[in-house]
Chain A
Amino acid sequence: MTDIIPLVSAAYSDRLSRRTESAIPEVWNLLDEVKDPEIPALSIWDLGVLNGVEQQDDEIFISITPTYSGCPAMGTISDDIGRVLSQSGYSRFSIKLLLAPAWTTDWMSPEGRIKLREYGIAPPENCQQGACQKIACPHCGSTNTETISEFGSTACKALHRCQDCDEPFDYFKSI
Chain B
Amino acid sequence: MAEVNKQAIQDYATRLGDDAVVIGHRVSEWCSKGPFLEEDLALQNVALDFIGRARMFYSYAAELANDGRKEDDFAYMRDHREYQNLLLMELPRGDFAYTMVRQLLVDVFNLYYLEQLQQSSDETLSAIAGKAIKETRYHLRRSSEWVLRLGLGTEESKKRAQTALDDLWGFTHEMFDLDALEQQLADAGIGVDNTSLQAAWTTQVKSILEEATLIPPEDEWKVKGGREGYHTEFLGQMLNEMQCVHRANPGLEW
Contacts and interface: CB of A to CB of B under 8 A. Distances in A.
Nearest to B24: A70
A103 interface: yes
A151 B52 contact: no
A99 B128 contact: yes
B137 A129 contact: yes
B187 to A, nearest CB: 24
Contacts of B39: 149
A102 B55 contact: no
Please list the 5 inter-chain residue pairs (A to B) with the smallest Cβ-Cβ separation, ordered nearest first: A70-B52, A69-B52, A100-B127, A70-B48, A149-B38
10 contacts: A68-B49, A70-B24, A70-B47, A71-B48, A99-B124, A101-B130, A102-B130, A149-B39, A153-B41, A154-B45
> Chain B interface secondary structure, helix, strand, loop or mixed?
helix
> Chain A interface secondary structure, helix, strand, loop or mixed?
loop
A149 to B, nearest CB: 4
A56 B129 CA distance: 31
A175 interface: yes
Contacts of B142: 150-151
A81 to B, nearest CB: 19
Given A100-B126, A130-B138, A175-B138, A69 B131 contact: yes
Given A68-B49, A70-B55, A149-B41, A100 B130 contact: yes
Interface of B: 24, 38-39, 41-42, 45-53, 55-56, 123-124, 126-128, 130-132, 134-135, 137-138, 141-142
A102 B114 CA distance: 14
Contacts of A102: 127, 130-131, 134
Contacts of A52: none
A130 B137 CA distance: 10
Contacts of B53: 69-70
Most B Cβ at <10 Å: residue of A68, A131, A175: A68
Nearest to B123: A100
A71 B44 CA distance: 12
A155 interface: yes
Contacts of A71: 48, 52
Contacts, number: 76
A35 interface: no
How many of chain A's residues touch chain B, expressed as a range? Answer: 20 to 34
A152 interface: yes
B104 to A, nearest CB: 14
Contacts of A159: 38
A155 to B, nearest CB: 5
A101 B128 CA distance: 10
Contacts of B134: 102, 104, 175
A173 interface: yes
Given A99-B130, A149-B38, A150-B138, 20 more contacts: A66-B131, A69-B48, A69-B53, A69-B131, A70-B47, A99-B56, A99-B131, A100-B126, A102-B130, A102-B131, A102-B134, A130-B138, A151-B38, A151-B42, A151-B45, A152-B41, A153-B41, A159-B38, A173-B138, A175-B135
A129 B141 CA distance: 9
Contact of B141 (A100, A104, A150): A150
Contacts of B137: 129
B158 to A, nearest CB: 22
A99 B134 CA distance: 13
A23 interface: no
Nearest to A155: B45
A149 B42 contact: yes
B30 to A, nearest CB: 12
Interface in A126-175: 129-131, 148-155, 159, 173, 175
Contacts of B52: 66, 68-71
